Structure 1
């Protein structure tokens, strides 16, 4: 019985705490993430763990603002807002004052400082941050794509890629894929190995989506010898022999000619330099269609 009373007391305490929670309404003509972060940062200075944050996103007209005011008028609260459309901002300021509700503008004071200091006018256009976010997530998606379709792991990505890189081992396919992915391109790369049959998708790649990578035999010999050393193997293994390298390069060039793709020599080039050349070559290929 005592145990039951204790449980009830705890529940009652929780209910009382919930009823006493302070509320801030985050109002925005976009998602409202900026306002929410600012509110949380301030709330931590006032035992923010008992603060309730209510969101009203994508405010587009006076009715949206009136809905928030009706809710906020029921109990002491604060409205923290990020609204860049002047007409909506002015309406919210006026109506909040009439209702006796504290409304805090989180953007316009800084926007005014920008205007005065840099002598520039703002766009007063909502959702611009979301456009930046789309660009960010596009890059993340491209990086995930490059990882998934690296080194020919899954041929399904070959025809879905913006760019396909083909070449023999140690021609910088993977670092180039990652670098181009950070520029927002979905890149797949396929290793060319004489003993390994290529997936049929390789021969269906549009030539303006594919680039072949080659390298000088001498440069490749040095790179592969260093690779063998890092693996604790002897440098005279077949992988680094000139005969093997020449055979692979000959095989690769035949494949690239069959595909009909442009070919770039990566010898003594930085990743950035090669990537820029790839984009330039493909741009010319696509413009010629």
Structure 2
């Protein structure tokens, strides 16, 4: 038995048409019994005319996703004239949605792939934030769009995750007096780094609550005011060396801090790669 041949035609990549075609074919035959010829990025009717001609010669059928109604109508008419089986995979759905929502489709190919690209960039940013959280791998400093620094309990991790959902690759570095920050922190452009400052009193409250939630004594050194003040003094000394912008997070929700970060990085005088931009 000769293999079944199906032409898949699209004014974009053609993945949707091929996926639907394969799903339907699976109800009739296995993968060894058919071949799919994909014709993507159709830009004129001559390509469609040629596809119908070859389909006729090979006894093939056609499945297509064309958002341009002129292309859809031309292909259907040409296939009907040549008596080639031709299936409009997307057209009926577009027409139904046009009736339902009382609006015209944009008629721009490839929009779903743009959404997919945005999705994968977001996933990549989230994975980056997890990998380079809390200074566990200092190599993230060089690769990040933004580096957050601050003492413990200044919301570095949740802020990194929130910004990752905005497709930003964020690394965060804890500032601890006994531990030298990675040398790469002092080599990146200063505006790529953002310090998170907090008042001693607020930090004391947060750390006490954290210790209680862990079933520990809230008088531990972690929540001791002298220790907190020493950590914040060290933080200020690092900020002074870096010359980077600072956000006071004492009374701010993560979302509020994130919006400030986003507004800072969107200022016209610098970009995420440290390139100076004319005001």
165, 177, 183: which one pairs with 1:182?
Answer: 165
Deviations 1:244-273 (A, max 9, x none): 111111111121122112211222322111
| Shift in CA distance, 276/76, structure 1 to aligned 2, threshold 3 Å | same
Separation in 1, partners of 2:123, 2:233: 36
1:233 Cα offset (Å): 3.6
1:148 Cα offset (Å): 2.3
- Aligned residue in 1 for 2:62: 79
| Shift in CA distance, 99/262, structure 1 to aligned 2, threshold 3 Å | same
Instruction: Tell me if structure 1 keeps the 8 A contact 2:148–2:193.
Output: yes
**SS state at 1:34 partner:** helix
**SS state at 1:159 partner:** helix
- Under a length normalisation based on structure 2, what TM-score does the superposition of the two structures give? 0.82
**SS state at 1:155 partner:** coil
1:3-14 aligned at under 5 Å gives the runs: none
- Under a length normalisation based on structure 1, what TM-score does the superposition of the two structures give? 0.79
Instruction: Tell me if 1:153 matches 2:136.
Output: yes
Number of aligned positions between the proteins: 270
Instruction: Tell me if 1:34 matches 2:16.
Output: yes
- Aligned residue in 1 for 2:205: 222
- Aligned residue in 2 for 1:276: 259
Which stretch of the first structure deviates more once superposed, 75-84 or 93-102? 75-84
**SS state at 2:142 partner:** coil
Which stretch of the first structure deviates more once superposed, 29-38 or 173-182? 29-38
1:194 Cα offset (Å): 0.8
Root-mean-square deviation (CA, aligned residues, Å) is: 2.9
1:68 Cα offset (Å): 4.2
1:84-103 aligned at under 5 Å gives the runs: 84-103=67-86
Deviations 1:116-169 (A, max 9, x none): 454433333222222222222221222222222222223332233221111011
Q: Of Structure 1 and Structure 2, which has the larger fraction of its residues in helix? A: 1
1:1-289 aligned at under 5 Å gives the runs: 19=1, 24-39=6-21, 42=24, 46=27, 52=34, 54-56=36-38, 57-62=40-45, 64-65=47-48, 68-69=51-52, 72-73=55-56, 78-284=61-267, 286=269
Instruction: Tell me if structure 2 keeps the 8 A contact 1:142–1:187.
Output: yes
Gaps of 5+ in 1: 1-18
Separation in 1, partners of 2:115, 2:21: 22
Deviations 1:28-59 (A, max 9, x none): 22122333444455567x45757747251333
Separation in 2, partners of 1:239, 1:144: 29
Separation in 2, partners of 1:140, 1:62: 38
Instruction: Tell me if structure 2 keeps the 8 A contact 1:32–1:55.
Output: no
